[in-house]
Amino acid sequence: MWQRLRAARLDGHRFRRQHPIGRYFADFACDRLRLILEIDGGVHDRDDVILRDHLRQLELESLGWTVLRFSNEDVLTRPERILTAIREHARELGV
């Protein structure tokens, strides 16, 4: 995913990896879009991790960010789905 996002390759939007936001680190974040991409492995299917992810997302959203979650499988088999979701978010913002 980083190869597709780095160096503003996606429509000029600059993403950063492991970007600090509040007390968390986002997998990928774009300041201009106030967008966080989280890529979740299998451990994120556990009940305790689901709850922790939900609370984390609520806190990040309270800071004005939108969080989009995708699985590792999405990255490997459907990366265009992720890029489309980013573009739709940018379009909703008028950016």
Tell me the pLDDT tens digit for each residue of 62-94: 999 999 999 999 999 999 999 999 999 999 999
Q: Which of 27, 32, 21 is nearest to 70 (CA)?
A: 27
CA–CA separation, 94 and 54 (whole Å): 27
Mean per-residue pLDDT for 5-28?
Answer: 94
**CA-to-CA dists, residue 77 to 11, 37, 48, 80, angstroms:** 22, 17, 27, 9
pLDDT of amino acid 37: 96
Is pTM beyond 0.85 here? yes
pLDDT of amino acid 86: 97
